[in-house]
């Protein structure tokens, strides 16, 4: 368990002090992938650097396991950092060293014997999918390969926690997905806790179990990713959800209502396992109705799927009512009436 209490960071400036992290409280369970999302200036990168004291907190405490990071002296902090790996947006590799030498660097600092060091480096190269690139230099690697080196280096000392500060922001979408899949694989194989800092809701959606939304140095919303997608409370959270799902207001809903004037139109909300049900075909077979999908989107999260479909239902009034009643009463799909026939 990572327990953060009253964490605050104030930067001294000539004109005025800047509070980057403002009395933040947070608990993160062992072994989960925890996302922290916010726009530029929200304080999220400062927050993650406070966790291993790359930035010194102004107030508050950070406890990782049974060790209070904020109370450690310099010597004990160096040892504690071996259990906290970190990967960065711009990789931070040593350009004069090969892949294997970059990965070996933290092991050299830790005083690991050469034979053990070489064995560990080879294990990590296999783990992150860089076999055959051991002797390449960073300038010979793609962005995704550089980040794989960064991940392997961060894992060198068998950390319990992996901090990811905008680890995919410099990568194209396809490479981003590959790196995110790698992080999920590492989480499952090694059981380590991953704290992922990002400004992209796609990243949160794809791999995180829990998410905290930061704004002006504070956590303004927190919860399971699926729950936050389903019921975002804060305006900043709603904007992030719209990155993935589009506007919940449906810009062209009025156009749909105009086009299908006098027809029955419903919005079907799918959550969790319900999104995997063959609901449309089941309704069409069980009831004498025709269902026309007008618009919709369903997306996957680590905790299940979420999304909605806007549908037109045609048929006898009684059959239409029976079909809607079946969806409402016999499934976990929520039904919202957009328009009823005149």
Shared domain for 262 and 239, answered yes or no, is no
Domain of 300, CATH number, reads 3.30.70.260
Specify the DSSP element, H or E, that contains 179.
helix 173-190
Domain of 221, CATH number, reads 3.40.50.300
For residue 208, CA distances in Å to 13, 53, 105, 145, 204 come to 35, 24, 29, 22, 5
Distance CA 248, CA 94 (A): 46
Q: Which residues of the chain are under the pLDDT cut of 70?
A: 246-252, 272-277, 342
For residue 53, CA distances in Å to 9, 24, 63, 68, 335 come to 11, 15, 12, 11, 49
Shared domain for 270 and 334, answered yes or no, is yes
Contacts of 152 (CB under 8 A, 6+ apart): 103, 121, 124, 125, 127, 128, 130
Shared domain for 291 and 209, answered yes or no, is no
Shared domain for 189 and 120, answered yes or no, is yes
Shared domain for 230 and 265, answered yes or no, is no
Shared domain for 282 and 322, answered yes or no, is yes
Where among 188, 209, 244 does a domain terminate? 244
Distance CA 225, CA 35 (A): 9
Shared domain for 219 and 299, answered yes or no, is no
Where among 244, 269, 303 does a domain terminate? 244
Shared domain for 57 and 192, answered yes or no, is yes
Query: Do residues 147 and 178 touch, judged by C-beta distance below 8 A?
Result: no
Shared domain for 102 and 186, answered yes or no, is yes
Shared domain for 64 and 176, answered yes or no, is yes
Q: What is the pLDDT of residue 15?
A: 79
Domain boundaries, position 311: 253-339
Q: What is the pLDDT of residue 121?
A: 96
pTM over 0.75: yes
Where among 212, 244, 276 does a domain terminate? 244
Shared domain for 280 and 144, answered yes or no, is no
Q: How many independent structural domains does the chain possess?
A: 2
- pLDDT tens profile 221-272: 999 998 888 788 999 999 998 887 766 555 567 777 778 888 888 888 887 6
Shared domain for 288 and 193, answered yes or no, is no
Query: Do residues 134 and 100 touch, judged by C-beta distance below 8 A?
Result: yes
């Amino acid at each position: 368990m990572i327990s953060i209490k009253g964490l605050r960071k104030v930067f001294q400036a000539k004109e005025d002090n800047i509070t980057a992290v403002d009395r933040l409280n947070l608990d993160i369970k062992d072994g989960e992938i925890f996302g922290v999302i916010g726009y530029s200036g929200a304080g999220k990168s400062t927050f993650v650097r406070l966790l291993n004291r790359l930035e010194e907190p102004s107030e508050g405490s950070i406890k990782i396991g049974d060790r209070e990071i904020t109370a450690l002296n310099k010597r004990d902090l160096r040892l504690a950092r071996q259990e906290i790996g970190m990967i960065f947006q711009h990789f931070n590799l040593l350009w004069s060293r090969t892949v294997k030498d970059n990965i070996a660097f933290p092991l050299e600092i830790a005083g690991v014997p050469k034979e053990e060091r070489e064995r560990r480096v080879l294990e990590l190269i296999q783990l992150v999918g860089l076999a055959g690139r051991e002797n390449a230099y960073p300038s010979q690697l793609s962005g995704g390969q550089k980040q794989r080196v960064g991940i392997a280096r961060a894992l060198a000392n068998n950390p319990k926690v992996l901090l990811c500060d905008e680890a995919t922001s410099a990568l194209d979408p396809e490479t981003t997905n590959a790196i995110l899949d790698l992080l999920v694989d590492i989480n499952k194989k090694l059981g380590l806790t991953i704290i992922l800092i990002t400004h992209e809701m796609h990243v949160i959606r794809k791999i995180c179990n829990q998410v905290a939304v930061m704004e002006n140095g504070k956590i303004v919303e927190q919860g399971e990713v699926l729950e936050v997608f389903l019921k975002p409370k804060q305006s900043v959270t709603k904007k992030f959800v719209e990155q993935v799902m589009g506007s919940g207001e449906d810009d062209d809903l009025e156009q749909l209502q105009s086009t299908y004037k006098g027809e029955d139109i419903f919005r079907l909300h799918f959550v969790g396992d319900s999104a995997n049900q063959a609901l449309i075909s089941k309704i069409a077979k069980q009831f004498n109705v025709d269902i026309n999908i007008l618009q919709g989107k369903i997306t996957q999260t680590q905790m299940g799927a979420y999304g909605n479909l806007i549908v037109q239902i045609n048929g006898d009034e009684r059959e239409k009512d029976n079909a809607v009643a079946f969806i409402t009463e016999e499934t976990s799909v929520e039904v919202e009436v957009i328009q009823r026939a005149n």
